[in-house]
Structure 1
Amino acid sequence: MIQVAAAIIENEHGELLIARRRSGKSQAGLWEFPGGKLEGGESAPACLRRELMEEMNIDIEPYALFGVNDHWYGNVHIHLIAYKASYVKGEIVLIDHDECRWVEPESLADFEFAPADVKFVRMLESAPS
């Protein structure tokens, strides 16, 4: 099982940050909530702060567990841990993604998400405004 953390990052306008995986990466062309693999002994919030700085050059503040999802990509088991997070600072520089967007929660259905992230998209779509 691979433990992965995803950040549901909200800006001051209530928009969420989504990113599209670049060509050559697994799940290329699909959108996701950014994050990455937990390193040994690392908490999900610490992983998200590290990964978002490494992959997007931004500082975030994870503040609440949003949900977990176990997903199998063939024989690979992903345990995805999502945290709500606030955007703190930094100008986005993409490393593992070829595009990112700030979108309204109700617009999430317009994007094709990686299968492991779909559960969180549905949760956000059904959340009260």
Structure 2
Amino acid sequence: MHLREQTPRRSVAGVCLSGVELGLPIPWNTVSLLLGKRKSGGAMGGRWEIPGGKVEEGESDHVALERELDEEFSLDVSIGPLLTQAGFLHKGREFIVYAYQVMLPADPVRTPEHSRVDWFPLAGSLDLDLVDSDRSLIENLLTTKPVVISAFNQ
């Protein structure tokens, strides 16, 4: 009997950056990144993360990211392009997290999942106690050639 390999589950992250202008390359070394500090408890309690979550069956990445950010911040967001991705293991299951640029209409005011939300310089965020998957995403972003954002979905 052969064990069937499971397809990795999809997860999405909303990379909210300040200091980005449409039509110009993203200056990775000078932008700030929005991170949330998870509330205490659980395996990732007290660690910083990029907002996002798991893609449910039948959802597209964009729909999942819109849902997750609405649940976390009660904000309608605009989704930009895919910036990077990273693989990780969670409870023995393989995941791939896809990081999309997200534009927020305002700073978050409600966050039931986080004890704190704040902006950090992208490179400086690596000094924080980040969840492992998001550390990989940020490392990938810092080594990515500059991306030009021309538009966001409305």
What TM-score bracket applies, with the shorter chain setting the length? 0.7 to 0.9
Could you say which structure has the higher strand fraction?
Answer: 1
Alignment deviations for residues 58-93 of structure 1 (CA, whole Å, 9 cap, x no partner): 222111001222211341222211111111236421
**Count of residue pairs the alignment pairs up:** 129
Structure 2 match to 1:11? 18
Could you say which structure has the higher helix fraction?
Answer: 1
Structure 2 match to 1:31? 48
Give the conservation status (yes or no) of the 8 Å contact 1:59–1:90. Answer: no
Q: Shift of the alpha carbon at 1:127?
A: 4.7
The DSSP-based 3-state class of the residue aligned with 1:78 is strand
CA RMSD of the aligned region, Å?
Answer: 2.1
Name structure 2 gaps, 5 residues minimum.
1-7, 21-30, 147-154
Q: Counterparts of 1:1-129 in structure 2 under 5 Å?
A: 1-11=8-18, 14-89=31-106, 91-127=108-144
Instruction: Give the ranges of 4+ consecutive aligned residues of structure 1 lying more than 4 Å apart after TM superposition.
Output: none
The DSSP-based 3-state class of the residue aligned with 1:94 is coil
Q: Which moved more, 1:48-57 or 1:90-99?
A: 90-99
TM-score by length of 1: 0.86
Alignment deviations for residues 79-108 of structure 1 (CA, whole Å, 9 cap, x no partner): 211111111236421111111111221321
Q: Supply the distance in 2 between the matched residues of 1:128 and 1:66 (Cα, whole angstroms).
A: 10
The code of the aligned residue for 1:39 comes to: E
Alignment deviations for residues 22-77 of structure 1 (CA, whole Å, 9 cap, x no partner): 11244111111100111221111111111111111222211100122221134122
The DSSP-based 3-state class of the residue aligned with 1:124 is helix
Q: Which moved more, 1:94-103 or 1:9-18?
A: 9-18
Give the conservation status (yes or no) of the 8 Å contact 2:126–2:135. Answer: no
Q: Supply the distance in 2 between the matched residues of 1:117 and 1:80 (Cα, whole angstroms).
A: 9
